[in-house]
Structure 1
Amino acid sequence: MNHTISSNESIPSAKKKIIVLGSGPNRIGQGIEFDYCCVHGLLAIKECGYEAIMVNCNPETVSTDFDIADKLYFEPVFWEHLWEIIELEKPEGVIVQLGGQTALKLAKKLHEKGIRIFGTSFDNMDIAEDRGRFSDLLKELEIPYPQYGTAFNAEEAIEVAQKVGFPVLVRPSYVLGGQRMRIVLNDEDLENAVVSLLKHIPDNKILIDHFLDRCQEAEIDGIFDGEDFHVMGVMEHIEPAGIHSGDSNAVLPAFNLTPLEVTTMEHYGEKIARALDIRGLINIQFAIKDGTVYVIEANPRASRTTPFIAKAYGVPFLNIATKVMLGANMLKDFKIEKKLDGFAIKEPVFSFNKFPHVNKELGPEMKSTGEAIRFIKDLRDPYFRKLYKERSMHLSK
């Protein structure tokens, strides 16, 4: 005689609850930086009077410490597990902006089930994630962007590449850390790249962008509350275009861009945030060539550089952004004072010593496993001069 025994040690409280989704196990493209975001988000939720519930499955992170959230579900950040938790806890809603791409990918399911997503709506986040829809938006806003096309096989890819012009950047859609992204120079290399991509990620839509060679890359992180747009920081990459942003040394604030280029980036950032009706965080990547500022992509969530900027300037940006997502505060409620004497450099951290047979050549597919921060007084600093000299040598090749 079979007896089905079910038990549940989780007893929901009567308090209003908010769930924060973490980023799961550390991996290239999505690491410990998002743990900082989740921890500060949880603390902000508590300050707003809600019960803060954390869903994550990484024992190495502070967000899964027993005393950070009011309640921790140490579960994989997969839909099946999340739905069971939601059914039990009946939260006011879920925050997906703090846990990187893993959390963001669950927004569609939450939207379909009618679960409230705090902050930016699913449809507006999807416009930023979908290259076709996002390029249409940029065209409407009269913001420059690299010519692009989409394909589902090698034959279509060659047609698109001939239309947008070589060199092209080939990548699958909706992936993490530039996975299987390649820069190709001719039809033969393009065909090989597409065949390889479809072999590893079948049925994926392939994005083909004209690659802006020998240009400067930069990015901004911002917060938008529906009225005001605050630029947390403008970071200029030391490495040239073609190196993934996660593998680039980046300087805060920008050191070699003209005031007009920086102002243009901030202006485009605000236009995009307003058009997407962002509530909370947004990261936008730019390429600057011959004085023209091009938008490469927008991430409607916390980026890996958000904690870096918060620490460099000494401002609790994640606390502020979470309260904006919840609708508890507007940006004008906060007195934001940035304190940085000189410059902060974001240094990528690599683990090649643990993976001796991995190709160490950097490109559009991310290889770093973390990042560190270095403060310098001015641009005469020997460390910075060495980095910039290496960049100049790279460009002259």
Structure 2
Amino acid sequence: MFSKVLIANRGEIACRVIRTCKKMGINTVAIYSEADHDAPHVKQADEAYLVGGPRVADSYLNVDTIMRIAKESKVEAVHPGYGLLSENELFARRCEQEGLSFIGPTPDVILAMGDKIEARGLMIKAGVPVVPGILHELKNADEAIEVAEKIGYPIMLKASAGGGGIGMQFVTSNEEMRKAFEGNQKRAHSFFGNGAMYIEKFIENPRHIEIQILADSYGNIVHLWERECSIQRRNQKVIEEAPSLFLNDETRLQIGETAVKAAKSLGYRNAGTIEFLVDANQHFYFLEMNTRIQVEHPVTEEITGIDIVEEQIKIAAGMCLSFSQKEVKREGHALEVRIYAEDPVTFYPSPGKLTSLVIPDGDGIRHELAVHHSSTVTPYYDPLIAKLIVKGKNREEAISKMKEALDRYKITGIKTNIPMLQNVLLHEKFRKGETTTSFVKNYLQE
């Protein structure tokens, strides 16, 4: 087992990894930017090193400096968290070259799954159902229109290297396509350094279901059941839960087995998530694979009792999975919300200094905090304040606990999205489990 691990990330996920490392008796090294000198992850780690200026490019994406710190601090492994360098094939390869264990999949798999077009092709070869679409990069808007007319509007225009909804747009006509293509291409190139675009058929009112998998280096792969992440705004997840109220038992087994089959076809290792769209008739289609831990992983941990970060570390250290698929149980229902520093009406970021922070506690309530009571939320990074996770005996109890916990959250000095989250939880359609990806668009105005 490793004796020291560097966390190449910030915020709540860095704190989350540090917590599990402490439980395992592993020393931790944090990195921080000038803007994050007072951040919680800096205080919680055994060692912390300044990595650069406030801009992400100068700090958390500064691979040369991160590698220098890793060498000087004599770590044996690097945990990338999510976002930032977590799905960067070159960073994973650099870790290997420097003799460090990368706590994630192999660079080749990261590269293959990071290209959405290539990923679609690999899944088709593996016999995994995919959303109808194309398997090549679009040359220009004219070709995009030609393809869209053949498939039939509406369609989804997507960035091949995309993620988090960036470079993605719902398009209903040729006129919209001409406007959408160039703008999304530029945005994708700006965010990912790759402007390649492709098209998928739009699945009407789908559920967004994802399967958490764990795979060791000896061919053992299990899934940890499903999470439903259908409550989204502009393709960004808002509320996640496990299990899904929508899936029937037959589909639940099939989609889990399909995720394992997909991972085996790739020779996958470590933790990963395979995302699917599921239509009203329980037909499911591969959407993408995230080759990292997910923001919403705690809901899976709550219903299975499995520490996913701990399993990641053990797998990277060369250990076998200690449990089989039959031993992965489900108990209760878990919900997660992301509390952001943003205006609940306009959804614009609301950076500033917290003047107070009161966090509710109680049975079945879990927090993953990115701030402390006097933190400043800067404009440089994602404005996540905290993730709030609750667990109940059933979905009704979990919703009740979540509503009560949000009512007891007290954050002053900045605006937050808590009112919007409360509105979703109170909505009759949500409480009934009618949670398609169109939920926020259809009902939020109410």
TM range (shorter): 0.7 to 0.9
Deviation at residue 46 of structure 1 after TM alignment: 4.1
**Percent same amino acid among aligned pairs?**
17
Q: Residue 347 of structure 1 aligns to a residue in which SS? A: strand
**Is residue 164 of structure 1 aligned with residue 151 of structure 2?**
yes
**Is residue 264 of structure 1 aligned with residue 244 of structure 2?**
no
**C-alpha distance after superposition, 1:103-140 (max 9, x if no partner):** 22443145268234344210012111111221111111
Question: What's the counterpart of residue 129 of structure 1?
Answer: 114
Question: What's the counterpart of residue 198 of structure 1?
Answer: 185
In structure 2, what is the Cα distance between the partners aligned to 1:303 and 1:157?
A: 31
**C-alpha distance after superposition, 1:166-205 (max 9, x if no partner):** 2221232334421242111111111111122234444611
CA contact (8 A) 1:237 1:245 kept: no
Question: What's the counterpart of residue 41 of structure 2?
Answer: 63
Give 4+ residue runs of structure 1 displaced > 6 Å after superposition: 333-337, 366-369, 392-397
Pick from 165, 190, 202: which aligns with 1:178? 165
Deviation at residue 52 of structure 1 after TM alignment: 3.8
In structure 1, what is the Cα distance between the partners aligned to 2:28 and 2:294?
A: 22
Question: What's the counterpart of residue 277 of structure 1?
Answer: 267
Question: What's the counterpart of residue 296 of structure 2?
Answer: 305
**Is residue 228 of structure 1 aligned with residue 220 of structure 2?**
yes
Greater relative CO, 1 or 2 (CA 8 Å, sep 6+): 1
CA contact (8 A) 1:286 1:294 kept: yes
Pick from 197, 203, 219: which aligns with 1:212? 203
* 1:357/1:255 CA distance change after superposition, 3 Å: closer
In structure 1, what is the Cα distance between the partners aligned to 2:70 and 2:347?
A: 44
In structure 2, what is the Cα distance between the partners aligned to 1:168 and 1:208?
A: 7
CA contact (8 A) 2:207 2:435 kept: no
When the two chains are superposed, the root-mean-square deviation of aligned CA atoms in Å is 3.7
Question: What's the counterpart of residue 85 of structure 1?
Answer: 69
In structure 2, what is the Cα distance between the partners aligned to 1:271 and 1:79?
A: 34
Q: Residue 289 of structure 2 aligns to a residue in which SS? A: strand
In structure 2, what is the Cα distance between the partners aligned to 1:142 and 1:333?
A: 24
Question: What's the counterpart of residue 148 of structure 1?
Answer: 133
Pick from 102, 110, 135: which aligns with 2:84? 102
- The one-letter amino acid of 1:309's match is T
Deviation at residue 267 of structure 1 after TM alignment: 0.5
Question: What's the counterpart of residue 373 of structure 1?
Answer: 389
Question: What's the counterpart of residue 49 of structure 2?
Answer: 73
Question: What's the counterpart of residue 97 of structure 2?
Answer: 114
Q: Structure 2-normalised TM-score? A: 0.69
**C-alpha distance after superposition, 1:367-390 (max 9, x if no partner):** 987542244443556867722459
Deviation at residue 234 of structure 1 after TM alignment: 1.3
* 1:283/1:61 CA distance change after superposition, 3 Å: farther
Runs (5+) with no aligned partner, structure 2: 52-58, 350-381, 401-424
Pick from 314, 319, 326: which aligns with 1:323? 314
- The one-letter amino acid of 2:314's match is K
Runs (5+) with no aligned partner, structure 1: 1-14, 27-31, 360-365
In structure 1, what is the Cα distance between the partners aligned to 2:346 and 2:207?
A: 31
